[in-house]
């Protein structure tokens, strides 16, 4: 190992053996870092660059360095960020004082990124020489392969090119020191740069107002996904802003960063003694000490903040009840309960609601005396969760699935973010445990997994049931979970009902749980079947959230917490005039599911299957079904090739398996959804009152008139109508503000009806309610009729010359049309009879058309 190292020293280049114990190295732990058994939160300061010393290195002499290390450790810091490779001895000195090193590799940002050296030869050499200096040393926390790519360079070369070159430098580091954590120090002007292979996300952020600072951190947390987020530079110039302002800003910046769930912060800088470009910087003073190392007031402010970080206590921590609902979950239950034994929260209880398990759950419970065991007969997931709510003593209720392990800080971040936001509920991400199987890793990146749906960086439309947290009062207000959901869907339903009641749902990106995925293909497909059945129930309860095919209509974006899957997501980048914008934001379009429609059950039934039938009748059409099948296979193959499978769980068969699951999952889930829809529609009431006469109506677009002796509140009448319809079992879709009807009623799979009303006030204080009821074929009925007509015509055209009796098949089409029209008229008469009964139960009465 050379005594002095810098780019271009000509040191021998070879892989350095890692002689340190890997347990002494910093490693990843979800959204955080870990050292041994303890969590490691970065509390750092930048150190240098300085004027060259006698050996030509940008560091002070040894005596000054040792003195600085003592003072830095006294400040409570545990990390130094260096902008050059350290001299020999510095890593050992840092370890003596409990300090770790985050080293910037001083690559030239223009030679490679502007295309002058496509091979990045000089940059790779600089990486190798830096790792030669300290690779494998336990003091090495990680390296930053690039710091702040100039925005005009990024715009010139393109985001994908820059990200790919950052990834290439990271790969160079990993080849030399596999355990070294790698990052890339980004900043707001190039926020859109998203390399794939960073171990943690780093940003230099200089914002001097607390609310914009907190909002920007929320945005960065969402962009970081499952990676830890570290602020590698924060600070303020004490010359222009004043020392008091510097103190206050650093105090709240550190507090806000750790309260936002970041993995650490680095303050710029330790001292005002700062050199760059071959000259001292004298018109800026970001240091915590002066040039002669005299501590400023900000030194003491940072010391106080570091002593309190990362866990800022709540003024009055509310009691939390953690409910684990389990049915035959013994396989993962022990790990789940063990994770709840040592949560970083002062006041909580754990309730295990055993939903009639027949496995080893009772035996496992014997070793967890701190858990309250609540057994019940098998009644399903929602009833089990409601039992937990009824038995809970906390004002806040957290729900964790039995196949999850909670992070030690899980409750800390959930409670902190919930109390700060005032939301009714909040959720967090769920990550694949490092010890899960390769099949589970493939399932992780396959469709249909539990993922939050985000409306903004802080607000969610849906949070998965494996990691959700609510105010107990809000759950009671909406009558808790609906018992109709026995296996899945209860989390979606409760979120929608809370939002319909005027509440908000939040999201805490650092409140994570480790979620074991299904470890076999059969188990995964059974899970998706259950999800499909739950969707059919959700569609009956919330038809306005679904399209005609039963697919969910999410307002927000699905957040997976996975790596980006590409060096730059699709979207438009706002660079500012001449590329000078300070916040150069990536504006992404709404998430498109169009390609995945080519693997859906509807695509196969409506396109591929008819083409196969037609190619059997007309052989010259065989290229069409082949093309259709090729499109489905191509979409699944493309999805598998882009899937970011965790590297340590990747096998040669992982991507083929993911592609196979992309083909199977939509068919299995879609079939279960349609089967559920047909089953429940068959039970839909057709006559809601025995012996009630049905009015005779001559047209499918009927007008009904009801007289009322007083002024009628039309909105109240519609709300009562909607409530009565739902009581009698009809599936209704109320107007959400974008429709030209008041209520849409889904009769069965063949018909639907729209009710539109207007109130006419009369001079004598009376009123007449005008009701227009219009029935029509459903989308399924239209597809059936026109598809049947086309098939009949093609069949006649092909075979009628040889078999004249084939013309008789055309008779099926009018019979089918008559049946569908009969269904529409029947629905119209039943709803008209329903309105007559409503009028008879009140002071209203049906009248002829008013004169």
Per this entry, what is the length of the chain?
A: 851
* Mean pLDDT along residues 282-302: 92
* Mean pLDDT along residues 499-508: 94
- Name the more confident of 803 and 224: 224
CA-based nearest residue to 663, from 517, 518, 447, 445? 447
Task: Give the pLDDT confidence of 776-831 residue by residue, as tens digits.
Answer: 888 778 888 888 888 777 777 767 667 777 667 777 888 888 888 888 888 888 88
Lowest mean pLDDT among 432-446, 493-507, 735-749: 735-749
pLDDT for residue 338 is more than 80: yes
Task: Give the pLDDT confidence of 751-774 residue by residue, as tens digits.
Answer: 889 999 999 998 888 899 999 999
Mean pLDDT, the chain, whole residue set: 84
Identify the pLDDT of residue 8.
39
- Of 148-157, 331-340, 682-691, 788-797, give the range with the top mean pLDDT: 331-340
Identify the pLDDT of residue 130.
85
Identify the pLDDT of residue 5.
34
pLDDT for residue 394 is more than 70: yes
Cα torsion 285, 287, 290, 295: sign: positive
d(C-alpha 801, C-alpha 166), whole Å: 69
**CB 841: neighbour CB atoms within 10 A?**
10
pLDDT category of residue 12 using cuts at 50, 70 and 90 = very low
* Mean pLDDT along residues 175-198: 90
- 697 is written with which tokens? 């109506």
d(C-alpha 315, C-alpha 320), whole Å: 15
pLDDT for residue 599 is more than 80: yes
Q: Is there a contact between 727 and 838 (Cβ–Cβ < 8 Å)?
A: no
- Identify the three-state secondary structure at position 758: strand
* Mean pLDDT along residues 503-512: 94
Identify the pLDDT of residue 837.
87
Classify residue 534 as exposed, middle or buried by CB count within 10 Å of its CB (0-12, 13-18, 19+). Answer: buried
* Mean pLDDT along residues 476-483: 94
- Name the more confident of 353 and 785: 353
d(C-alpha 777, C-alpha 200), whole Å: 54
d(C-alpha 79, C-alpha 181), whole Å: 14
d(C-alpha 803, C-alpha 809), whole Å: 11
| DSSP-assigned letter for residue 200 | S
* Mean pLDDT along residues 60-83: 94
pLDDT for residue 569 is more than 50: no
Q: Is there a contact between 51 and 282 (Cβ–Cβ < 8 Å)?
A: no
CA-based nearest residue to 313, from 345, 276, 270? 345
> Which contiguous run of DSSP H or E holds residue 34?
strand 32-35
Q: Can you spell out the DSSP letters for 14-26?
A: -PPP--S-GGGS-
Q: Which residues contact 490 (CB under 8 A, 6 or more apart)?
A: 381, 382, 385, 465, 481, 482, 534
pLDDT for residue 676 is more than 50: yes
Identify the pLDDT of residue 545.
79
Per residue in 769-806, is it b (16+ CB within 10 Å) or e — as a string? bbbebbbbbbebbeebbeeebebbeebbeeeeeeeeeb
Identify the pLDDT of residue 544.
75
pLDDT for residue 680 is more than 60: no
Q: Quickly tell me which residue has 């990550």 as its tokens.
A: 431
Identify the pLDDT of residue 16.
41
- Name the more confident of 834 and 564: 834
pLDDT category of residue 487 using cuts at 50, 70 and 90 = confident
* Mean pLDDT along residues 476-481: 94
d(C-alpha 827, C-alpha 686), whole Å: 8
Identify the pLDDT of residue 697.
57
pLDDT category of residue 32 using cuts at 50, 70 and 90 = very high
Q: Can you spell out the DSSP letters for 163-197?
A: HHHHHHHHHHHHHH-TT-EEEEEE-GGGTT---SS
**CB 569: neighbour CB atoms within 10 A?**
14
**Terminal-residue alpha carbon distance, the chain:** 103
Identify the pLDDT of residue 550.
61
């Amino acid at each position: 190992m050379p005594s002095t190292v810098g780019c271009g020293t000509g040191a021998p280049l070879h892989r350095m053996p890692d002689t340190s114990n890997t347990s002494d190295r910093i490693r990843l732990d979800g959204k955080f870092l870990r050292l041994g058994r303890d969590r490691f939160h970065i509390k750092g300061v930048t150190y240098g660059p300085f004027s060259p010393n006698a050996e030509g290195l940008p560091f002070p002499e040894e005596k000054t360095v040792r003195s600085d290390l003592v003072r830095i450790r006294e400040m409570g810091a545990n990390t130094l960020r260096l902008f050059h490779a350290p001299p020999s001895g510095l890593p050992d000195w840092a370890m003596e004082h409990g300090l770790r090193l985050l080293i910037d590799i001083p690559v030239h940002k223009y030679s490679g990124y502007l295309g002058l050296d496509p091979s990045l030869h000089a940059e790779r050499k600089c990486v190798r020489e830096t790792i030669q200096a300290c690779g494998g040393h336990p003091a090495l926390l990680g390296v930053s392969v690039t710091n702040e790519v100039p925005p005009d360079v990024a715009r010139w070369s393109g985001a994908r090119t820059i990200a790919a070159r950052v990834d290439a430098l990271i790969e160079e580091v990993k080849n030399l020191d596999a355990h070294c954590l790698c990052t890339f120090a980004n900043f707001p002007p190039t926020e859109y740069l998203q390399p794939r292979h960073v171990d943690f996300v780093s940003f230099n952020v200089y914002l001097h107002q607390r609310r914009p600072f907190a909002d920007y951190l929320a945005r960065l947390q969402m962009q970081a996904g499952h990676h830890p987020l570290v602020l590698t530079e924060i600070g303020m110039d004490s010359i222009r802003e004043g020392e008091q302002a510097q103190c206050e800003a650093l105090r709240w910046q550190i507090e806000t960063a750790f309260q936002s769930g970041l993995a650490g912060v680095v303050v710029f800088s330790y001292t005002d003694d700062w050199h760059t470009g071959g000259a001292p910087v004298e018109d800026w003073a970001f240091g915590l000490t002066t040039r002669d190392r005299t501590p400023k007031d900000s030194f003491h402010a940072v010391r106080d903040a570091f002593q309190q970080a990362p866990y800022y206590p709540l003024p009055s921590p509310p009691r939390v009840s953690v409910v684990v609902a389990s049915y035959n979950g013994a396989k993962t239950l022990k790990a789940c309960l063990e994770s709840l034994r040592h949560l970083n929260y002062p006041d909580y209880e754990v309730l295990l609601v055993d939903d009639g398990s027949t496995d080893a759950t009772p035996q496992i419970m014997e070793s967890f005396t701190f858990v309250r065991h609540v057994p019940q007969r098998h009644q399903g997931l929602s009833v089990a969760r409601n039992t937990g709510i009824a038995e809970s003593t906390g004002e806040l209720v957290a729900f964790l699935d039995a196949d999850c392990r909670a992070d030690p800080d899980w409750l800390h971040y959930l409670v902190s973010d919930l109390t700060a936001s005032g939301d009714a509920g909040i959720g967090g991400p769920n990550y694949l445990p490092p010890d899960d199987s390769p099949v589970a890793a493939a399932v992780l990146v396959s469709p249909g997994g539990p993922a939050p749906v985000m409306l903004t960086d802080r607000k969610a439309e849906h949070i998965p049931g494996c990691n959700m947290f609510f105010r107990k009062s809000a759950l009671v207000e909406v009558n808790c979970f609906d018992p109709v959901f026995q296996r899945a869907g209860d989390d979606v339903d409760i979120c929608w009902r809370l939002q319909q009641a005027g509440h908000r749902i939040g999201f805490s990106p650092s409140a994570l749980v480790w979620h074991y995925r299904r470890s076999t293909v059969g188990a995964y497909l059974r899970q998706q079947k259950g999800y499909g059945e739950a969707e059919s129930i959700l569609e009956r309860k919330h038809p306005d959230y679904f399209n005609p095919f039963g697919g969910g209509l999410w307002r927000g974006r699905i957040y997976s917490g996975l790596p980006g899957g590409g060096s730059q997501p699709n979207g438009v980048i706002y660079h500012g005039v001449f590329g000078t914008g300070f916040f150069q934001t990536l504006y992404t379009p709404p998430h498109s599911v169009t390609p995945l429609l080519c693997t859906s059950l509807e695509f196969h039934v409506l396109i591929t299957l008819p083409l196969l039938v037609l190619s059997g009748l007309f052989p010259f059409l065989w290229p069409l079904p082949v093309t259709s099948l090729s499109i489905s296979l191509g979409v699944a193959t493309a999805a598998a090739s882009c899937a970011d499978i965790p590297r340590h769980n990747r096998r040669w068969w992982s991507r083929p398996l993911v592609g196979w699951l992309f083909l199977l999952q939509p068919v299995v889930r879609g079939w279960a959804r349609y089967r559920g829809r047909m089953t429940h529609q068959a039970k839909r009431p057709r006559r809601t009152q025995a012996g009630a006469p049905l009015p005779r109506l001559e047209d499918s677009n009927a007008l009904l008139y009801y007289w009322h002796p007083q002024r009628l509140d039309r909105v109240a009448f519609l709300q009562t109508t909607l409530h009565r319809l739902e009581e009698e079992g009809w599936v209704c879709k109320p107007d959400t503000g974008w429709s030209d009807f008041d209520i849409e009623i889904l009769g069965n799979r063949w018909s639907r009806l729209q009710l539109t009303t207007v109130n006419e006030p009369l001079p004598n204080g009376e009123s007449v309610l005008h009701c227009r009821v219009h029935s029509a074929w459903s989308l399924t009925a239209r597809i059936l009729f026109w598809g049947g007509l086309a098939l009949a015509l093609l069949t006649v055209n092909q075979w009628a010359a040889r078999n004249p009796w084939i013309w008789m098949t055309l008779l099926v089409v009018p019979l089918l049309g008559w049946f569908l029209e009969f269904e529409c008229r029947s629905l119209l008469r039943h709803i008209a009879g329903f309105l007559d009964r409503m009028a008879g139960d009140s002071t209203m009465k049906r009248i002829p058309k008013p004169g």
